Amino acid sequence: MSFPDVLLYILTPTTQTTQTTTMTLKVGDLAPDFTLVTKSADGPQLVKLGELVGKSNIVLLFVPMAFTGVCTTEFCEISAGLKDYEALDAKVLGISGDNPFAQAAWAEKEGITIPLLSDYEHAVAKAYGVAYEQFLPEANLIMGGVAKRSAFVIDRGGIIRYAEVQEHPKDLPDFEAVKACLRAL
C-alpha cells in the first residue's frame, strides 16, 4: 500500500500552481511497503519490508546522510545496543539516500552493524513523509528529498506503532520511547 500525496493549490490573483507535499505517517497507519537495496558480503541484495512484516517488529531509522557526525554517532550507538532491540523482538533497519556502496564503506569504516538500506531515489522517505524540500538551505545544502532523522516502529501486522520525525538533522529520536513502544507490543 502506498501513502497518497496531498495536492495543495496555491492561488495568486493571476495564476494557479500546484505543489505536491507528503504527509508524515502516524501511529495506526499501515506502513507503506518498499523494496530497497543493501550491500552485503555477497553483493547488492533486495530488502522488501513486506517480507519482514510478520517475522518480528521492525524499527526503521531514517538518517540524512552517511559519513556525517550525528548520523554516524546514531548508528554506532544503535549498533552497540543492537542486542537490546533483538531482545525486544525487533529488527532495526537504517535508511538513507546514499548509494549502497557508500553505505557499505561507511559501515565498514565506522563499525555500523545494522542493515543499511539505500533510498537513492528518496521514494521511501517521501512515502513516509520524512523528505526535506531542501535539506539545510542556511548551509547551502539545498538537496531535496533528503530524509529527516526519523524513527518508526512497525508491529508484526505492518501497523505503525511509533512515529517520530525530527525537523533539525542534529536532533535524535527518543530511543527510550522506541524501546518502551517495543516492550508494549
Q: Helix, strand or coil for residue 100? A: helix
Q: What positions carry a catalytic annotation?
A: 71
User: Rounded to 5 degrees, what angle do the CA atoms 103, 107, 109 make?
Assistant: 115
In one-letter notation, the amino acid at residue 12 is T
Question: Which residues are within 8 A (CB) of 180 and not within 5 positions of it... i.e. 6 or more apart?
Answer: none
In this structure, are strands 57-62 and 90-96 parallel, antiparallel, or unpaired? parallel
Element (H, E) at 50: helix 49-52
With CA atoms as reference, report the closest residue to 31 among 159, 139, 168. 159
